[in-house]
């Protein structure tokens, strides 16, 4: 028998880097359902590590996951549907 998710929420796959599209793909639970989202490696570097070369996009994602998830929640609250593709102006200025 398959495992049932806790608290009535759907399981969420771990984030990963999709080489072909150059994006980090991740999921955010919204109202107990996973919402697919992505952000490009270039935007991660430009927004969070300007001037850096060769930074691992998964490392940047992990460091700023809370901000990225909050941006997805804002976009969904504004009516975005899955998959949410985060853009530079979706992220707060640092």
16-90, which class in CATH? alpha beta
Give the start-to-end residue ranges of the domains of the chain: 16-90
pLDDT digits (tens, 9 = 90+) for 47-60: 998 877 778 999 99
Query: In this structure, are residues 68 and 47 in contact, taking their beta carbons and an 8 Å threshold?
Result: no
Q: What is the pTM of this model?
A: 0.84
Q: What 3-state DSSP class applies to 59?
A: helix
pLDDT digits (tens, 9 = 90+) for 8-30: 556 678 999 999 999 999 999 99
List, in order, residues 6 or more apart from 22 with CB less than 8 Å away.
40, 41, 42
How does strand 23-30 pair with strand 33-40? antiparallel
């Amino acid at each position: 028998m398959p495992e049932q998710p806790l608290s009535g929420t759907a399981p969420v796959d771990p984030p990963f880097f999709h080489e072909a599209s150059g994006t980090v793909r991740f999921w955010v639970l919204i109202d107990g359902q996973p919402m697919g989202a992505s952000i490009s490696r270039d935007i991660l570097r430009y927004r969070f590590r300007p001037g850096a070369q060769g930074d691992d996009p998964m490392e940047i994602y992990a460091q700023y996951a809370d901000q990225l998830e909050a941006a997805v929640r804002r976009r969904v609250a504004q009516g975005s549907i899955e998959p949410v593709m985060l853009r530079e102006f979706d992220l707060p200025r640092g």
